[in-house]
Structure 1
Amino acid sequence: MNIWKAKVLTEVPFGHVLIVSGKVKPHPNKISLDLTDNVNAENESETVFLKIEANFREGQIIRSMFQPGEGWKQEEISKNWKCDGPKNPLVPGQCFTFRVAVLQRCFEIYVNDQLYGSFEFVKFPKQINFVRAYGDFEKITQFHHRMLFPLVFPRSLMCVDRVAFQSDVPRRYETGTVVAMECIAKGPPTTEFSICFQCNDTGRMILKFHVNFDKTTVSRSYQREDNSFASDDEETEGEFPFVRGKLFKIAFGIGDRSFLIAVNGQYFTYYNFPVRPFSISTLKCFTNDVGDFAVRSLEYHSDSPLLSRVEKLSII
């Protein structure tokens, strides 16, 4: 069973939507998605505001919630709102998407971009802090937290092929924001991957963090106004802390003038912002034709002081 989790950057109020995409294993049993206040149940009890469970053996999707001291409740097992749709639209071996919109009285649930149903909540879930997926999926390829009302933010950005993972949040990264990711890169010695932060206004990459296992180099660069990458802008100094097939955790902190980057609990380097002003709320990860890159967890934080937190948040 795979487990994937994400910590949201901000609250998930009315008018927001959470989107999780991935790929189902060839012979699945269940895939579950939880919207919860705590994934570790430490210091405070865990509340699951919505649990969506796709059950392949029974061919249905179950919705429920969990409250401390009360257990699981409000279980709903009903057919797809689409009369001609299957009770479980997820297909073994195929990609899937859960989209959950927060309305005034209920969650509205979409499966593979089709309206599936709704789930009423007893009280408004103001403290959704984590999204957790677990079960028989190969990997999670997308996690978006978007604002739909009163304005759509961030807007959709065009993307090239070979996207391994992407995520965006409903406000721009402020100074002090840290993005921490547990990742693993597999493949032959010629495997490469990139972690990129994209400007909302122009669509250009403010930082392209590129790892080349064949050359054992880690380059940092940015996209110019003509959308090109120039070798004169590249920085490659530093050690090579990555191993193919081994889990690593990397954290990117937004400072006053630069990105601060740490890997596996150790400060790695910094990268000065190439242009100002800019607005980032989107990250995208790419790999080459032979590589296999997966994000196992994703955390957004917005506290200070920055440097000590970047190193701490990159500890596996």
Structure 2
Amino acid sequence: MFQPGEGWQQEEISKNWKSDGPKNPLIPGQSFTFRVAVLQRCFEIYVNDQLYGSFEFVKFPKQINYVRAYGDFEKITQFHHRMLFPLVFPRTLMCPDRIAFQSDVPRRYETGTVVAMECIAKGPPSTEFSICFQCNDSGRTVLRFQVNFDRTTVSRSYQREDNSFASDDEETEGEFPFVRGKLFKIAFGLGDRAFLIAVNGQYFTYYNFPVRPFSISTLKCFTNDVGDFAVRSLEYHSDSPLLSRVEKLSII
């Protein structure tokens, strides 16, 4: 356990940790799932859907605001917040496409919510990636923010009822602030009528909501066959005022 001002307390680990499983169930180079359930008296930890062990609280945490991953991770491709009851698998997470990263929260984004992401895109000049926000009810994309390095364009569009993305719906105005292989931070703010978007501390554009009403709790990031896209950090914020926070939260 980590205590502020004291560092890591190894004796707490040996006393509070309980496990009947293998000491290390992970295999280098293979992907795995890691789940943590916050219960009344402990964290229950699952690796690849198997109970690995439990860690009893020294005292119940008042509020958990951050999750940090340390060590030699190649890439984290999913980060989901779940409620144990009811146990649901959102429709928006079912997708056969090439997903680089996805995340959902157990309640919809309210007006004033800001999602900030620190990301990096690598690959040849033909690399593309997109960040999509999807409607919980229909599964359709309310905003697709697509970056094309070959054309140096950033397009914004939405998914129609027939699930198509038509070119006449796209917006492409604006600068091109992205560089292959260079870390960037982007923030999406949910306003009353539009998404507000900022990149690296600068206001980038807005995108009017294509339909109303809708409910969003899921984002997905896609890349084409030649590109590599990774999310280094993901933050959710919900205070105000919105525009100043969108710019501030996108500062890298």
TM-score (norm 1): 0.75
Structure having the higher helix fraction is: 2
Report if aligned partners of 1:220, 1:235 keep a CA contact under 8 Å in 2.
Answer: yes
Quote the residue 1:6 is aligned against.
none
Gaps of 5+ in 2: none
**Superposition deviation, residue 228 in structure 1:** 1.1
Report if aligned partners of 1:179, 1:251 keep a CA contact under 8 Å in 2.
Answer: yes
Report if aligned partners of 1:80, 1:117 keep a CA contact under 8 Å in 2.
Answer: no
SS of match in other structure, 2:205: strand
Q: 2 CA distance for matches of 1:171 and 1:294?
A: 25
Quote the residue 1:292 is aligned against.
228
Report if aligned partners of 1:178, 1:254 keep a CA contact under 8 Å in 2.
Answer: yes
Report if aligned partners of 1:242, 1:248 keep a CA contact under 8 Å in 2.
Answer: yes
**Superposition deviation, residue 305 in structure 1:** 0.4
**Superposition deviation, residue 152 in structure 1:** 3.8
Quote the residue 1:253 is aligned against.
189
Q: 1:228-279 CA deviation, whole Å, 9 max, x = no partner?
A: 1111211111111111111111000000000000001111000000111111
CA pair 171-84 structure 1, distance change in 2 beyond 3 A:
closer
Q: 2 CA distance for matches of 1:126 and 1:150?
A: 23
**Superposition deviation, residue 80 in structure 1:** 15
Report if aligned partners of 1:173, 1:280 keep a CA contact under 8 Å in 2.
Answer: yes
Q: 1 CA distance for matches of 2:17 and 2:122?
A: 40
Q: 1 CA distance for matches of 2:160 and 2:166?
A: 8
CA pair 186-159 structure 1, distance change in 2 beyond 3 A:
same
| 98-107 vs 80-89, greater mean Cα deviation | 80-89
**Superposition deviation, residue 85 in structure 1:** 5.5
Report if aligned partners of 2:122, 2:180 keep a CA contact under 8 Å in 1.
Answer: yes
SS of match in other structure, 1:95: coil
Report if aligned partners of 1:197, 1:284 keep a CA contact under 8 Å in 2.
Answer: yes
Report if aligned partners of 1:174, 1:254 keep a CA contact under 8 Å in 2.
Answer: yes
Q: 2 CA distance for matches of 1:82 and 1:161?
A: 39
Report if aligned partners of 1:180, 1:300 keep a CA contact under 8 Å in 2.
Answer: yes
Gaps of 5+ in 1: 1-64
**Superposition deviation, residue 156 in structure 1:** 5.9
**Superposition deviation, residue 122 in structure 1:** 2.3
SS of match in other structure, 2:75: strand
**Superposition deviation, residue 123 in structure 1:** 2.0
Report if aligned partners of 1:252, 1:260 keep a CA contact under 8 Å in 2.
Answer: yes
**Superposition deviation, residue 75 in structure 1:** 4.6
Aligned pairs, how many? 252
**Superposition deviation, residue 77 in structure 1:** 7.2
**Superposition deviation, residue 87 in structure 1:** 2.0
**Superposition deviation, residue 144 in structure 1:** 0.8
**Superposition deviation, residue 78 in structure 1:** 8.3
- Poorly superposed stretches of 4+, deviation over 4 Å: 74-85, 153-156
Q: 1:59-103 CA deviation, whole Å, 9 max, x = no partner?
A: xxxxxx122355534757789999995321111111122100011
CA pair 183-309 structure 1, distance change in 2 beyond 3 A:
same
Q: 2 CA distance for matches of 1:84 and 1:144?
A: 26
Q: 2 CA distance for matches of 1:164 and 1:230?
A: 23
Report if aligned partners of 2:113, 2:236 keep a CA contact under 8 Å in 1.
Answer: yes
CA pair 125-228 structure 1, distance change in 2 beyond 3 A:
same
CA pair 68-247 structure 1, distance change in 2 beyond 3 A:
closer
**Superposition deviation, residue 154 in structure 1:** 4.8
Report if aligned partners of 1:79, 1:87 keep a CA contact under 8 Å in 2.
Answer: no
TM-score (norm 2): 0.93
SS of match in other structure, 1:115: strand
Report if aligned partners of 1:80, 1:116 keep a CA contact under 8 Å in 2.
Answer: no
**Superposition deviation, residue 304 in structure 1:** 0.6
Q: 2 CA distance for matches of 1:254 and 1:187?
A: 31
Report if aligned partners of 2:189, 2:195 keep a CA contact under 8 Å in 1.
Answer: yes
Percent of pairs with identical residues:
93
Q: 2 CA distance for matches of 1:118 and 1:85?
A: 11
SS of match in other structure, 1:110: strand
Q: 1 CA distance for matches of 2:18 and 2:220?
A: 33
SS of match in other structure, 1:93: coil
**Superposition deviation, residue 153 in structure 1:** 7.3
Q: 2 CA distance for matches of 1:241 and 1:125?
A: 40
Q: 2 CA distance for matches of 1:176 and 1:80?
A: 40
Structure having the higher strand fraction is: 1
CA pair 164-198 structure 1, distance change in 2 beyond 3 A:
same
